[in-house]
Amino acid sequence: MSTTASPCGTFDATILDRRELAANVVLIGFDAPALVAVTRPGQYVMAVPPSGEVASTALGIYEAQGTRGSLLFFVVGKRTTELAGLRPGDGLSLTGPLGNGFDLSSNPRDVAIVAGGVGIASVLLPAQALLAAGARVRLFYGARNRELLVERERFEREGCEVILATDDGSAGHRGYITQALERAEPPELILACGPTPMLRAVASVAETLGVRAQLSLEETFACGVGGCWGCVVPLIGTSAQAPNFPPLERGGSDVVYARICKEGPVFWAHELRW
C-alpha cells in the first residue's frame, strides 16, 4: 500500500448540492479545493456534524473532481442524520483526506471491484483511475434490494461492467455478491469495500481464486488520525503496514493490531489475521 503521507488538514467546506439517491441514502457535494486536489482513491474524511454535539464520523470520499468533492452515505444514526440535514450553502468541517487508499501502482489490467451497500462510496475514484489507465473494471455490487443499489448507472456510464446482486432478488443475482464473484472469470486484482462479513467472504474467494485482494475496512473511529488506537485489526507483523512493534523474538508478536484509520483503511486480505 502507499505509505506516502498526503497533505491533509481540516477544511471548512461549503455544501454545493444534495440529492437523495434512495430512502435514507444521501449524496452531498461540497466545495473544498485544497482537499479535493490531494484526494487519492480510497481515502476518507472525518466530518463534523453541524450541531457539534456528537462525535465526527468517517465517510469515504465518493467524487473528487476540480474543486468539488462529494460524500455518499446511509442515514443510520444521529451523526448521519445531522449530516443529511445539510443544505446547499451550509458549512461543513472536514478533516482529511485520511488513510492510505487503494494501491493501484501495479498498473493492473483487469480488476474486480466489490462493493456492498454503502461501500459503493469508496470505489468510484479507484474505478475512474483504473479506467483512465485503460484497465478492464468489473463492479460487483450487492445490496439488500434494488432501490439500495444506488449509482449503478453511474458506474456503467464511467465504463465499468456492472454485476449486481440483491438479498431479495429484485435486481441481479439473488444472494451475495461474493457468490457472483466466485463464479466469474478471475480478475488480476480485487478491490473491495463494504460490510465486514462481505469483506471476509471476499478474502476467502480471493484465496480460492489465487487473486490478491485489497480490502477497505470499516470500524468505529474516534480520532480518525491514528492518535487513539481505537480502530484496529490484527495484521501479520511482516506486513509493510504493520505498526512499530517488537517481533516475537524480542518479546513481541508476529501478529499486531494495526490502526484501520492510519495504517489502513485498505489492507491486503492475505495479511490480515482477523
Partner 1 sequence: MVSASGLHDIDLTTKIGSLTLAYPTLMGSGCYGSGEEFAPFVDLAKIGAVVLKSVTRHPRLGNPTPRLVHTPAGMLNAIGLQNPGIEWYLEHDVAKFAGRPCTIVGSVAGFSVDDYAYVCELLGQRSEIAAIELNISCPNVASEGETFACDPRLTGKVVRAAREVTDKTLIVKLSPNVTDIASIAREAQSAGADALAVINTVRGMAIDVETWRPRLGNVTGGLSGPAIRPIAVLAVYEVARAVTIPIIGQGGIETTSDALEFFLAGASAVSIGTANFTDPRVPVRIVEELRAYLAQRNLRSLSSIVGRANVGFANAQQYEGDEG
Q: Which residues bind partner 1 (CB under 8 A)?
A: 5, 7-10, 48, 52-56, 93, 95, 219-233, 244-246, 250-253, 256-257, 262
As separate numbers, helices (DSSP H) first and strands (DSSP E) second, the chain gives: 6, 15
Of 11 and 155, nearer to partner 1 (C-beta) is 11
Amino acid at 41: P
Buried b or exposed e, range 194-231, using 16+ CB within 10 angstroms: beeebbebbbebbeebebbbbbbbbeebebbbeeeeeb
Of 71 and 231, nearer to partner 1 (C-beta) is 231
Sign of CA dihedral 201, 160, 80, 174: negative
Q: How far is the CB of 186 from partner 1 (least distance, A)?
A: 31
Of 82 and 151, nearer to partner 1 (C-beta) is 82
Q: How far is the CB of 242 from partner 1 (least distance, A)?
A: 11
Q: How far is the CB of 245 from partner 1 (least distance, A)?
A: 5
Distance CA 126, CA 148 (A): 21
Q: How far is the CB of 269 from partner 1 (least distance, A)?
A: 18
SS3 197: helix
SS3 264: coil
Q: How far is the CB of 256 from partner 1 (least distance, A)?
A: 7
Of 10 and 208, nearer to partner 1 (C-beta) is 10
Of 153 and 254, nearer to partner 1 (C-beta) is 254
